[in-house]
Amino acid sequence: MKRMNISLLSCAVMTTLTFSVGSVMAATSEIKLWRHETSNIKEIEVNKATMDRFNQSQTKWHITAEMIPEGSYTQTVTAAALAGDLPCILDMDQPVVPNFAWSGYLRPLEGLLSQEALDGLIGSAKGTYKGKVYSVGQFDVALALFTRKSILEKYNLRQATYVQPWTKAELLYRLDR
């Protein structure tokens, strides 16, 4: 049976308890997380703090992270999936979610997050494939568009500023020109 990546919550739900002879006692279960190395130290610190808070908040599960070189992350995940050796949690950028879901490396988060929690996320924070949510993002990114001032002048377009950015309608109009 192919082992699939599942979210932290599904790991928590699906983790089995270890019973000792003569008593019922749960052992701490390790949850492995792979994340891609990044030069963004703040992002790494936020992720570490989040894991530390989770680990300190309970004794049932303990998350341990392994950093995978960013340049070989997708290949490493693919190789591990084919070998049936994926960790419980994968840190990934949203653009790869549909491909990993299509490949069968991920399973949907259905029933693991409340609809209220999902509704509280903006669309770009949810990694979806065929209408199902496979990931939720901790961060959202911003996209910046650049052009030369001469191009704006050529098409008689005003320069957007921080104080007066383009509206959605203005942006779409300008993209059509």
Rounded to the nearest 5 degrees, what angle is found at the Cα of 11, between the Cα atoms of 8 and 17? 135
pLDDT at 116: 93
Distances (CA, A) of 65 to 1, 30, 44: 25, 10, 11
pLDDT at 96: 87
DSSP per residue over 150-171, as a string?
HHHHHTT-PPP-SSSPPPHHHH
Tokens linked to 11: 């790991």
Place of tokens 């052009």: 147
Domain boundaries in the chain? 8-136, 144-177
Quick one: DSSP state of residue 122?
Answer: -
Mean pLDDT of the chain: 81
130 φ/ψ sector (left φ>0, alpha ψ -120 to 50, else beta): left
pLDDT tens digits, 104-155: 999 999 999 999 999 988 888 889 999 999 999 877 666 677 888 998 899 8
Q: Check whether 37 has a pLDDT greater than 90.
A: no
In terms of Cα–Cα distance, which of 65, 62, 89 is closest to 7?
Answer: 89
pLDDT at 48: 92
For the domain spanning 8-136, the CATH number is 3.40.190.10
pLDDT band at 29 (very low <50, low <70, confident <90, very high): very high
Report field, pTM of the whole predicted structure over 0.85: no
